[in-house]
Chain A
Amino acid sequence: MFSIDEMISFLPPLLGGAYITITVSLLSFALAAMIGLMMGIARISRSLLLRAIATPYVQFIRGTPLLLQLFFIYYVLPYSGIVLSPFVSGVMGLTLNYSAYMAEVFRGGILAIPKGQWEAGLSVGMSRKLLMRRIILPQALRIVVPAIGNFFVSIFKDSALVSVITMRDLMFSGQILAAATFKHFEIFAMVAAIYFLISYPTAKLVEYIEARLDISRAQAAAAPAHT
């Protein structure tokens, strides 16, 4: 029943899909991290305007399903004349969605830094901006690495949702192939295996970065090197 040759013949389209999945995920993650950081800072800014932008952004996006957001971007925006390719729509949807969650993580990381750090920086004449950049963020980013790493691992799998807007990612490629050949078991088993082969090293990479950044250990190890 299983034919190795047949399965090998499924590989090229599936790997093509995997390439799209990886591209969409990496791109969305990078954009989401940048926007998330800005939104996270804006959420706790002293400026009412920035808060008035960031807070509803985060609340609204977290309060609606990713699937719906993708539908909106791909099927509803064209009614107002904005037609986007599946790829752009998919990246946009994932970026929007992930940036909102990441904003909350960054916000939490920043708020976790003791007030004394702010006071020490202010007392030597630092501006709040400089303090944020030089003192608060370097510490906050270390704190949020596990949570942000978690998002990094999950975005590869959540990106499967972009298949609903006809992006030829790994999931979509599998569906097309399965519909054409009726070899559901083989194909979806292969799709699962490829997702796992992407996710597992990703999780390992995050673990490695976490270990490297473990504040006390990393600094103890780094200290003798600074001479």
Chain B
Amino acid sequence: MSLITPVEIAAATTVPVLRLELINKFFSRHQVLRDVTLEVERGEVVCIIGPSGAGKSTLLRCINHLENVDSGTVFFEGAPVYRYQRDGKTVIDPDRRIEKIRSQIGMVFQSFNLFPHLTALGNVIEAPINVRRDPPEEARRQGTAVLTKVGLAAKANSYPHQLSGGQQQRVAIARALAMNPKLMLFDEATSALDPELVGDVLRVMRQLASEGMTMVVVTHEMGFARDVADRVIFMADGAIIEEGDPRQLFTAPVNPRTRQFLQSVLDRNGNTEGAG
């Protein structure tokens, strides 16, 4: 039996789930991320907003190494991942370690990316069975539970093409949740949806947030960011321009670029107040 000292408990609770340190990223010669530094605490919901081309999605994809950073370090639960300096040498993680870390980070894509040849339940239990090696019965039981959670237990045996966009996205959320992730990434999860279907997906996201899930959400839903986020980050041209409490950032942005962006979004979309 191992004893856990109070010091260890304190350490475990203070280590941020995610820490990005001076991340830089180039697509050929175009710099898409500039010295991005960011910490996400356990249970925190961080929303990233900003104009298109600001590097929001790229930043999210660097977090689970779908994109490799050119410089800087990504820390997951305090440990550096992928390409980092140790004893003056550059260490590159083996695929195995990256896969292990990815399995603990759920990601939801703008275009759902469900596996079309598998049923909703098949999508959800694919990784638990083949990556985590859960017994199929156990995986099916848990998979049904997460589908119930996103309100789609009745669609377990439907194929993706038989589901609406909103349903597909909720299956995608269930697929990510089935791995019991320590962190969830949402990459404009509602941008590809018909307006009337956005609400269902946002409702699931709100529920997750209220249950204490750690989330990084790239979104154009200002209402969601304002209501749900613990912290809002405004990005432009690959850099974090401003970050803070949503009430402060939305009502009294400090940086003129933030002000300009929020102004243009509110002008264009007068009903964001009620969204979600």
Contact = CB atoms under 8 A, between A and B. Distances in A.
Interface residues of A, number: 26
A120 interface: yes
B136 interface: no
Interface in B64-78: 64, 66
B176 A123 contact: yes
A45 interface: no
Nearest to A216: B161
Interface stretch (A126-134, A152-160, A162-170): A126-134
A124 B103 contact: yes
A119 B157 CA distance: 23
A117 B113 contact: yes
B131 A126 contact: yes
A53 interface: no
A81 interface: no
B115 interface: yes
A226 B111 CA distance: 26
Contacts of B106: 123-124
Chain A interface mostly helix, strand, loop or mixed?
Answer: helix
Nearest to A115: B113
Given A116-B113, A223-B157, A124 B95 contact: no
Given A116-B111, A122-B66, A123-B107, A223 B158 contact: yes
B148 to A, nearest CB: 17
A203 interface: no
A124 B114 CA distance: 12
A220 B220 CA distance: 34
B127 A126 contact: yes
B105 A123 contact: yes
B231 interface: no
Contacts of B103: 124-125
A16 interface: no
A50 interface: no
Nearest to B111: A116
A130 B109 contact: no
A119 B109 contact: yes
Contacts of A142: 117
Contacts of A219: 116-117, 159, 161-162
Interface string B164-177: 00000000100110
A134 B95 contact: no
Contacts of A116: 109, 111, 113
B138 interface: no
A198 B269 CA distance: 65
Contacts of B115: 117, 120-121, 135, 139
Interface of A: 114, 116-117, 119-128, 130, 134-135, 138-139, 142, 215-216, 219-220, 223, 226-227
Interface of B: 64, 66, 95-96, 99-100, 102-107, 109, 111, 113-117, 119, 126-127, 130-132, 157-159, 161-162, 172, 175-176, 179
